[in-house]
Structure 1
């Protein structure tokens, strides 16, 4: 384990979205490594697998889960949206902040897809057409960006019957629930897996463009 760090560190939102790596919190670090690097957590959660130490740590809106197997390497990380993102930086704790890199993280899913973060051919979009709990998930290299629509009005349920209208509805009403990364490569976000419909990022944006053109022509 490295010696205790006392210097403020900066992670990159763009790099996290591209690679799933929230450097300096890198794959292979253990629970004690993380504590030495950015200090103890502000809070933690426990369950029956957490003996003898808590394995789910929280630093403000950053959550880190560790393996139950010693020496407890990092298993996954999640960034939950704060009430308000900073314009340039978002602070997780006194020793770690996130550079926002000018990205439209508070915008719509299409805003993020058009921001030049990814090669669109390497990105897919998952749609969960569920009137009770519709969701949209952008999946890249090691990361998942999850959007949800809470308390959907029943008048909108018919829009979920077709994939194009469901995409238009999610684009307009969904809000960001979190950014997720797992070193194991197994999604805990897209569940149940068999219920999701997958399309490419390009198909998603083309569908949004068609919907917007139809709306403009409908009002002209």
Structure 2
């Protein structure tokens, strides 16, 4: 089957990765990109592309993700022998503010959740069916206590530092719009995309 060259920008805007969409069944995925060499009954992995399926027929997709997205670099990322991702100028080093400024979504379509998460600061950008997960190392905080830092700092004081240090972890696409706070965190905070940009820019 012919290799598909798919746009990273289009993926972030639509939640579709070329012919791969998050509402497909296992059989439909097999037709489009094949079957991975090591396939679990409900979880398939094609390099950085990972797909979760329902355990009941027709084994419809729960979501798919680009894992280890922080390692994306260069012009292209080969996901499978049938699917190649054109990075369109983005990379694993692209900051949250740069994604939000890229015209992928309307200013307030994107929501930014952040919270202390274990020893780091966790952050999600949620826009339509897309969720982008970032983590922020806390080595810039004197005692590396993320929860205390966020409690003591206003967003206007902390967001520029957080944005400049945020590292992209993974990108999920769901069948339906899904807004979710930082997994495993309780005291999460919410900003609109435009609020986040203003704070990250120090305005």
TM class by shorter chain equals 0.7 to 0.9
TM-score, length basis structure 2 = 0.84
Which fold has the larger relative contact order, with Cα–Cα distance below 8 Å and residues 6 or more apart in sequence? 2
> Does the CA contact (< 8 Å) of 1:149 and 1:170 recur in 2?
yes
**Deviation per residue, 1:130-173 (Å, 9 max, x gap):** 57231111110111111102464650545422233332332122
Deviation >6 Å, runs of 4+? none
Computing the radius of gyration from Cα coordinates, the structure with the larger value is: 1
**Equivalent position SS for 2:51:** strand
In structure 2, the residue matched to 1:78 is: 65
**Equivalent position SS for 1:34:** helix
Alpha-carbon distance between aligned partners in 1 of 2:91 and 2:4, rounded to the nearest angstrom: 22
> Does the CA contact (< 8 Å) of 2:128 and 2:178 recur in 1?
no
Alpha-carbon distance between aligned partners in 2 of 1:56 and 1:100, rounded to the nearest angstrom: 25
**Equivalent position SS for 2:113:** strand
> Does the CA contact (< 8 Å) of 2:70 and 2:170 recur in 1?
no
The answer to whether 1:68 aligns with 2:55 is yes
Unpaired stretches in structure 2, ≥5 consecutive residues: none
The answer to whether 1:97 aligns with 2:97 is no
The answer to whether 1:25 aligns with 2:20 is yes
Alpha-carbon distance between aligned partners in 2 of 1:189 and 1:55, rounded to the nearest angstrom: 25
Alpha-carbon distance between aligned partners in 1 of 2:108 and 2:46, rounded to the nearest angstrom: 34
**Deviation per residue, 1:54-86 (Å, 9 max, x gap):** 111111100011111201111101102357434
What's the C-alpha RMSD, in Å, of the aligned pairs? Answer: 2.5
After superposition, where does 1:70-219 map in structure 2 within 5 Å? Answer: 70-81=57-68, 84-103=71-90, 105-130=92-117, 132-150=119-137, 152=139, 155=142, 156-157=144-145, 159-160=149-150, 161-162=152-153, 163-183=155-175, 185-186=177-178, 190-192=182-184, 194-210=186-202
